[in-house]
Structure 1
Amino acid sequence: MGYRVAVVGATGAVGREMLKTLAERQFPVSEVAALASGRSVGQEVSFGERSVLRVQALDSFDFRGWDIGLFSPGASVSAVHAPRAAEAGCVVIDNTSHFRMEPDVPLVVPEVNPQALARFAKRRIIANPNCSTIQMVVPLKPLHDRFGVRRIVAATYQSVSGAGKEAMDELYAHTKAFYVNDPVKPEQFTKEIAFNCIPQIDRFMEDGSTKEEWKMAVETRKIVDPDIQVFATCVRVPVFIGHAVAVVAECTRPVSVSEARSILRDAPGVTVVDQHEDGGYVTQAECVGEDTVYVSRIRRDPTAENSIAFWCVSDNLRKGAALNAVQIAETMVAQGLLGKKAA
């Protein structure tokens, strides 16, 4: 019993994590294909501890007969090949930004809005949200259900892995150059990334926001509630893996910190570590390889009525990307949306 799963962008950081996550969670597969661009054809990637897959060419791959496509090849590539896979009968779960705001494409975080998957059939494409959006809405949704969140002010501290392997290589090179006093030239970022914070992720828009900040606002409204207002500042920090978000949520109903902490402790996908003492919180370095969203520093904001603040961290390659995509596939199986597979 199993599904035929194609992983697109299999040689990238997220693609490799998708393969790893499929194996770790023992998703019911009968066959797995690793797909990438022509320059990667013939490379080998791991699937679990014992299997090695040879990379095939995406351009010529026939998706007929394949059940699920986990896509993370870049937005322009998904724009071409995701519809092609969907037309062949494959259900596409796309990790890029290309389809997220299309009204007939569900944008899904399984702990938050699994009911949205019911609308997948028209396009056979499901979108994975932005990594920082995912880890923010997982704890936000249960708070919204209880207190009625109406406005969010958020600041992100996003690791370089969110920009891909080349960005991780640049952080390593810039850090090494710093210690030997070599000159550096930013290529993946607009400024030197080592020992620095860059308040720009993606391009600038007309109102002065960056597209990453816009994504967090519009995606939160699509996933959680169209009436929530979001103001975000997104910052790239010299961390290899793991995003952090500092959130202040203004609510329509009175907020109790103790109740909020209790709600979050019971929330799916959330782990609360919130001791008011030195080190009584979780940092980015501690969340690498973990599936949960860690929530710390829960407290009231005394400057705004009915407001609560929290700090959350998560592995952006896992819950922020690969894990969320695999969880979408698992939820579809549980809901009977992918059909039954014979033993």
Structure 2
Amino acid sequence: MGYRIAVAGATGNVGREMLNILAEREFPADEVVALASRNSLGTEVSYGDETLKTRDLDQFDFTGIDIALFAIGSGPTKTYAPKAARAGAVVIDNSSLYRYQPDIPLIVPEVNPDAVEQYRTHNIIANPNCSTAQMVVALKPLHDRARIRRVVVSTYQSVSGAGKEGMDELWLQTKGIYVPGQEKEPKKFTKQIAFNCIPHIDVFMEDGSTKEEWKMVVETKKIVDPKIKVTATCVRVPVFVGHSEAINIEFEEPLDADEAREILREAPGIMVIDKHEDGGYATPVECAGDFATFVSRIREDITVENGLAMWVVSDNLRKGAALNAVQIAELLGRRCLKKG
């Protein structure tokens, strides 16, 4: 006996990826329903070997749905997530709406699986920001060994994190550079993204940081440990899929690079590719389409006592969004919603 699953936002980048991953991982579903706005009503989406026609999210009755995966943004989620939760579905939400609400769990299954039990308060579980998710997967096993005091992270985030519009803008601007008359002015981004880097993701806050940077700070504290100090600089780069992060970590206890490398090799969800040679590291091209979080360039940071530096890369549409949501659903099924 399997679960009844609804995917809200099934025609978007993340929603389509959720359907792909549910099929790839053979999630035990008796029924999968694809939901979208009326503008996309009837659009066909793939679920494994099946083709699903989207149904109207606004009119859908969630009664009898076990798990609802949401990828529709904070505005619509505010309307439809409570409706689904009241009908008995457990909502796993990919937006930022519920991440910072104290009584709603924010979960990365490799990091804080026990928090899933807290879903009962509202029938809602929050999925973290894409840049946070891959970072905390790499931080947690090291934190368990030597206790992290401080993290300095610089991100190199792909345009798919800004949705289809971001990907289209990179493609059209790149083409426009080589084809006279097809130049494309910035619309989705604040500056040209083709052959450029933009140190600005989300809105600016009063202290000069952006909200994306703030998210990494607050979410890391909630998921891993509130005592960890985090500072982030988030940069959009001309890569279609895959976020990269250069991370410097200061520990309370000594931890050398060799031991850290062995710890990470044994940690769930991590693939260590760390050879001191040309090409002996992971890049976004290799991580696209993969489930793992890749860790490379592990080395000691001699500028601080008990410091390490590393390079972390992951497919942001997978681990940063859709995969993490499906992993939460799997965790929920194992621990809380057992059937059969």
Q: TM-score, normalised by structure 2?
A: 0.99
- Partner amino acid for 2:72? P
Give the Å deviation of 1:168: 0.6
Give the Å deviation of 1:131: 0.5
Which residue of structure 2 aligns with residue 216 of structure 1?
Answer: 216
C-alpha separation in 2, matches of 1:204 and 1:58? 32
C-alpha separation in 2, matches of 1:331 and 1:36? 25
C-alpha separation in 1, matches of 2:159 and 2:73? 16
| 2:119 counterpart SS class | helix
Which residue of structure 2 aligns with residue 267 of structure 1?
Answer: 267
Q: Deviations over 1:144-200 (max 9, x none)?
A: 011110100000000000110111111111111011134321111000110010000
- Partner amino acid for 2:317? L
| 1:46 counterpart SS class | strand
- Partner amino acid for 2:90? V
C-alpha separation in 2, matches of 1:70 and 1:333? 14
Which residue of structure 1 aligns with residue 301 of structure 2?
Answer: 301
Give the Å deviation of 1:338: 1.3
Map 1:31-46 → 2, pairs under 5 A:
31-46=31-46
Map 1:167-206 → 2, pairs under 5 A:
167-181=166-180, 182-206=182-206
C-alpha separation in 1, matches of 2:118 and 2:101? 12
Map 1:40-55 → 2, pairs under 5 A:
40-48=40-48, 50-55=49-54
C-alpha separation in 1, matches of 2:183 and 2:15? 32
C-alpha separation in 2, matches of 1:90 and 1:332? 12
Which residue of structure 2 aligns with residue 71 of structure 1?
Answer: 70
Map 1:193-342 → 2, pairs under 5 A:
193-335=193-335, 337-340=336-339, 342=340
Q: Deviations over 1:218-267 (max 9, x none)?
A: 00000000000110000000000000011001110012111101100000
Give the Å deviation of 1:333: 1.2
- Partner amino acid for 2:127? N
C-alpha separation in 1, matches of 2:272 and 2:126? 28
Which residue of structure 2 aligns with residue 110 of structure 1?
Answer: 109
| 1:313 counterpart SS class | strand
Give the Å deviation of 1:312: 0.6
Q: Deviations over 1:101-130 (max 9, x none)?
A: 101110000000000001110100000000
Give the Å deviation of 1:79: 1.2
Give the Å deviation of 1:139: 1.0
Consecutive unaligned residues of structure 1, counting only runs of 5 or more, are none
| 2:172 counterpart SS class | helix
Consecutive unaligned residues of structure 2, counting only runs of 5 or more, are none
C-alpha separation in 1, matches of 2:190 and 2:37? 27
- Partner amino acid for 2:177? F
C-alpha separation in 2, matches of 1:250 and 1:120? 33
1:2 aligns with 2:2: yes
C-alpha separation in 1, matches of 2:163 and 2:2? 31
- Partner amino acid for 1:215? K
| 2:145 counterpart SS class | helix
> What count of residue pairs does the alignment treat as equivalent?
339
Map 1:158-169 → 2, pairs under 5 A:
158-169=157-168
C-alpha separation in 1, matches of 2:337 and 2:185? 48
Which residue of structure 1 aligns with residue 144 of structure 2?
Answer: 145
C-alpha separation in 2, matches of 1:31 and 1:183? 46
- Partner amino acid for 2:222? K
- Partner amino acid for 1:144? H
Q: TM-score, normalised by structure 1?
A: 0.98
